[in-house]
Amino acid sequence: MNWLNQIIYFGGESYLAWESIKVSGPDATEFLSGQLTNEVSTLPNQTGNLNAAIDIKGKINAYFFLLKNENEYWLITPAVLKEALIQRLEKFIIMEDVTVKSSDKKFQISNKKEAQGFQCQVSGETFVLAEADSQSELNLMMMDYLTLLGVNYGHLENISETMLTDTLLVHNATSFTKGCFLGQEIVAKIYNNRGSAYASVLLQANATELITGDYLIDNRKAGTIEQWIEIGDEQFGIATLFRDFRVDQREFTIQANNSSHRVKVKLYPFFKLTAPEKARQLYEMGLEEFTHKNNSENAIQYLKQAIIWDEKLADAYETLAVILGRGEKYDEAIHWLKILEKVAPNSVMVHTNLSLFYMRQGKIQEAEDEKAKATVKSFAMFGNEAAQKRQLEKEREQKKAELSRREEMFKQVIEIDSDDTLANFGMGEISYEKNDYSAALNYFEKVLLVDAKYSTAYLGLVKTLTAIKAYQKAKEICDQGIVVAAARGDFNTANEMQNLLINLQSKI
């Protein structure tokens, strides 16, 4: 397991070499709400978020963790931004009863599940900030992780010339529903249209001589690479990328100073970091270790960590108990099964496995009792399955009726205007859902004949061609559609087609 996965799945912590500012006073909440890019007034006590202060043109003054403690706030910011942030806040205090004061308090940061302190959500990950103690140490790998998530930035001497929309702060330190803040109008205009011309991405590479600074793609400026971070056998570049090239998983050759190498684009969010996702992936790792590598020790470690992240992941409890039982650790296996009984009260296998383990311990009566419970729950399970089947049939009928309603509506529009792109696209989608691929092809092709920039029609056409196994043609349309969608700023469609393209390439 490389250092990044170790931090993601098992957690890490580090001394945070940033400086702190205390903002307090009766009007502190209202004042900060009007000045900062992210939520303030809705923050519960003992929580926080990543936040920023920008100027009227949308350029960054400073970024920081904002922590709420009763009626006061702590702003934890890189040291070189501290004085500028204090001046920026004091500049806008007019009538408000607010005090902005420099502090010597130091903090540490952790993403361990058991960590205590101010909880801050960033990119789906829960970070905990707490006052640093004498044992706190700087963990460079943890800081690299924060860099990958757009929390820790280098080259801060140029931050005042950087647009918020050019950085990941527009995603993880900005709320467009919180109410007005200085610079909001221009930031929202850029974000809600095509996005920044040059926005933050990761570039994945395995080259030995890596390009830094400005780089080209197809002989035009594509962006700037700030630094590379090594993860296992690969390198990840912290970079900006021109919008026409910003398609997830797309590969390019980049050039600079008579040097070139291949890269793969990774768009934000770079990692799936929610606690249930971590738990599910750890569960899958545990299964892999046990079933294919015959490594029970690693499997048990992964499964126990999965339960830490998600206490309701029934599969992890059951698999953990089975592995312990096979190792004749019956008492520990029974312990986990008893917890699973509370997590999944309808589970039949809980009692089946308990009966087996009690039998092997020679506890005949306990084994018979558990066997009886398994029998009772089996009958209940069959009843639940029948009810679920009836519900699924009802939902299928409702979907069928809705398709018929939409189909009739679109047909009426086409009778009036046979070139209507929305109606033809709608009929293409309906035909595809009904497995009428011949009709779907005709409708999607009609849309593109009328409007060659209708990016979602390319997606529909690719799906249809894939369904009839016309893989080469589907790839050609996919290549065209990705370029069209990216140029229009329709990145969701472009990214979906890129994923389809990867699958198509394996079939040709």
pLDDT tens digit sequence for 172-208: 999 999 989 999 999 999 999 888 999 999 999 998 8
Superfamily, domain 9-135+171-182: Probable tRNA modification gtpase trme; domain 1 (3.30.1360.120)
CATH code at 197-266: 2.40.30.110
Whether this prediction's pTM lies above 0.75 is answered by yes
Q: How confident is the model at residue 384 (pLDDT cuts 50, 70, 90)?
A: low
For residue 238, how many other CB atoms are within 10 A of its CB? 23
Among candidates 161, 237, 164, 156, which has minimal Cα distance to 196?
Answer: 164
Provide the pairing of β-strand 118-122 with 47-54.
Answer: parallel
H or E element at residue 110: strand 107-110
Does the fold of domain 417-505 match that of domain 197-266? no
Distances (CA, A) of 69 to 23, 93, 118, 189: 10, 21, 9, 33
Q: Which of 81-95, 155-169, 286-300 has the lowest mean pLDDT?
A: 155-169
CATH code at 417-505: 1.25.40.10
Q: Is the dihedral of CA 315, 318, 321, 325 positive or negative?
A: negative
Predicted local confidence at residue 160, as pLDDT: 86
Residue with tokens 């019956």: 330
User: Could you tell me the residue ranges of all domains in the chain?
Assistant: 9-135+171-182, 197-266, 275-385, 417-505
Class of domain 275-385: mainly alpha
In angstroms, the CA 378 to CA 388 distance is 15
Is it the case that residue 491 has pLDDT exceeding 90? no
Question: Phi/psi of residue 381, each to 5°?
Answer: -65, -40
Q: Is the dihedral of CA 282, 285, 290, 293 positive or negative?
A: negative
Predicted local confidence at residue 383, as pLDDT: 63
For residue 285, the Cα-to-chain-centroid distance in whole angstroms is 20
Predicted local confidence at residue 271, as pLDDT: 79
Is it the case that residue 228 has pLDDT exceeding 80? yes
Predicted local confidence at residue 96, as pLDDT: 94
Predicted local confidence at residue 157, as pLDDT: 74
Total residue count of the chain as it appears in this document: 508
Q: How confident is the model at residue 141 (pLDDT cuts 50, 70, 90)?
A: very high
165: left (phi over 0), alpha (psi -120 to 50) or beta: alpha
